[in-house]
Amino acid sequence: MRTLAWAVVAALFALLPLAVHSDVVLTVLVFACLQGMLAASFNLIFGFTGQLSMFHAAAFGIAAYATHLSMEHLQVSFWIGTLLAACLVAVLSLIVGSICFRFRLREFYFAVVTLAFSEMARLLILNWNSVTNGSLGINLQEKPTVWWPGAGVVKLDGTVPWYYVALAGLALTLLVCHRLVHSWMGRCFAAIRLNDALGDALGINVFRYKLAAFMVGSVIAAVTGSLYAYYLGSIEPGFLSVDQSLAIVAMVLLGGRRSVAAPVFGAFLLTALPHVIHFPAEVRSIVYGAILIATILLLPRGIYGTVSAVLRRG
């Protein structure tokens, strides 16, 4: 029944470009799908394993730069570049995660140390002018190519092909997260979230599973970073900022952190909001703050948690 419902939702999204021709709407949807990938992968670390990682934006941004640099200097295609970037982020998250979890940093201390590492990465990218062009960022002219049924190898240009790429990425992310959370590994994650000392005593290798969640989440963020950068057509050090990490946290909280798909809902809402209602930048900041505060104080379980609680009661 659930599987069927999800298949219908996926089919509806896949057929959407036939009904919606507005470029603006589709563009917003592409960004929403990409943000949804970020939110869902972050929730694997935060919502399911209970670790407030501030490294997510760094994984996202580092991969964006690494993809571009490997394409330029190693002359590889976009997809190989993405693969290399994902490998780089896997190694970096292995290092950062090992340090944090080996020294048993928890809660706030974990957040602060991951934040410190991502700030260091941001400062490096910001100041390594010869390679990253500093605060100005880089314009990306090239477009990745894909094999399209019936058309052969084509450049990914225009909104509709990108919509399908982003949608496929989101579907794949959700599938991976779903399989992971509902496996024995997911139960280890839950044990760590609820009480990691008890999990340790029960024979769960806490270090290994924390690291696994952290690495899988970061690698998905890395792939998202490559796609995002090449869809946007530019990269800048702001990709790695604290604000970016916090925006992801806000999406997850708004959607709900106890479900695989709910963060995507939060991502769609927060991405679409500025396009639906036009505000000056200052007012947008105020509205964003108000939404964050209202969500935490009034809907502590997010939209999904609140709605499902109401449905169960009614």
* Overall size of the chain counted in residues: 314
Cβ proximity to another protein: between 79 and 103 the closer is 103
Instruction: Report the candidate in 110, 95, 120 with the shortest Cα–Cα distance to residue 215.
Output: 95
Shortest CB 9 distance to another protein, Å: 29
Placement of tokens 């449905």 in the chain = 311
Q: Which CB atom, from 34 or from 125, has the smaller least distance to another protein?
A: 125
Cβ of residue 20: shortest distance to another protein, in angstroms?
A: 32
Q: For residue 68, is it left (φ>0), alpha (ψ between -120 and 50) or beta?
A: alpha
Q: Which is nearer to another protein, 143 or 284 (CB)?
A: 284
Q: Quick one: 19 or 298, whose CB is closer to another protein? A: 298
Residue number, 5 or 297, with CB nearest to another protein:
297
Q: How far is the CB of 122 from another protein (least distance, A)?
A: 9
Q: Which residues contact 58 (CB under 8 A, 6 or more apart)?
A: 117, 118, 121, 122, 240, 245
Q: Which residues bind another protein (CB under 8 A)?
A: 52, 99, 103, 105, 107-109, 111-113, 116-117, 119-120, 123, 126-127, 246, 249-250, 253, 281-286, 288-293, 296-297, 300
**What Å distances lie between residue 35 and 102, 135, 281, CA to CA?**
30, 23, 20
Query: In whole angstroms, what is the distance from residue 193 CA to residue 51 CA?
Result: 8
CA 81 – CA 68 distance, rounded (Å):
7
Three-state DSSP at 159 gives: helix
CA distance 260 to 265: 10
Element at 277 (helix H, strand E): none
Q: Is 22 helix (H, G, I), strand (E, B) or coil?
A: coil
Least distance from another protein to the Cβ atom of residue 211, Å: 16
Instruction: State in angstroms the smallest separation of the CB of 19 from another protein.
Output: 36
Choose between 10 and 126: whose C-beta lies nearer to another protein.
Answer: 126
Least separation, in Å, of the C-beta of 116 and another protein?
A: 4
